[in-house]
Amino acid sequence: MMLAVSFWEVTEALLTGFGNSLIIFFFTLLFALPLGFIFAFGAMSRKKWIRLLFRGFIWVIRGTPLMLQVILVFYGPGLLFGPTFSFQSRLAAVILAFAINYACYFGEIYRGGIESIPQGQYEAAQVLGLNRKQTFTTIIFPQVVKRIIPAMSNEIITLIKDTALANIIAVGEIIMVAKETVSINGVLWPLFFTGAFYLIFSGLLTLLFSKFEAHYRYYRSI
């Protein structure tokens, strides 16, 4: 009976931790997906100083560990500007760091997709009388989405695993809960449960992106 109670208590704690992981995951996507377009268009700007500014920032973010960025975002404001500017929520600091990091990666994926479209398609749209907005939304964007789905799916599946880095500033995501359970109770099975949670969620994401790929399969580049 004690084993059953212990099992359900640990499972409930793991589910709570996984809930925090999902919060980080979904809010990161909510902010990073649109922010990535800003980075992409900034990196493609015709103004050299804007292009260099965005590409330099992306280079720094992509060239440094996400764990370090989480630490800097959480502790940096308080150390630089005083306790008044310190983050009151560790979870918010994690989401901000993750959103900036993944926005840079998404921005590079968007930029690669946009720049892969042949220039002739822009010229053909201009001949048809379409303005820049109409050209992008009706002709370019569907093809870009089709081309970037594999890369985006890889990054998004990586994101759910990267949420484990939140425990560096003591955010109680599922890995942290599992480690505490193992160290306190001396049992190993919570780690296998944790792996199962990640596998199931990653599997669901894989199926979802397969549906997206099937939906956009009819778009063909000229």
pLDDT in tens, 89-140: 899 999 999 999 999 999 999 999 988 888 888 878 888 787 888 888 888 8
Q: Which of 202, 210, 212 is nearest to 22 (CA)?
A: 202
24 contact partners, CB below 8 Å, separation of at least 6: 91, 94, 95, 98, 163, 166, 171, 173
Using only C-alpha atoms, what is the Rg of the chain?
21
Domains, the chain, ordered by start = 2-215 (1.10.3720.10)
pLDDT tens figures, 163-204: 999 999 988 888 888 888 888 777 788 888 888 999 999 999
Other beta carbons within 10 angstroms of residue 195's beta carbon come to 12
Contact of 160 with 25, CB cutoff 8 Å = yes
Cβ atoms 172, 16 nearer than 8 A: yes
Q: What is the DSSP string of 45-69?
A: -SSHHHHHHHHHHHHHHHHS-HHHH
Residue 172 tokens read as: 């109680």
- Report residue 5's pLDDT band, with 50, 70 and 90 as the boundaries: very low
Q: What is the pTM of this model?
A: 0.88
3-state secondary structure of 216: coil
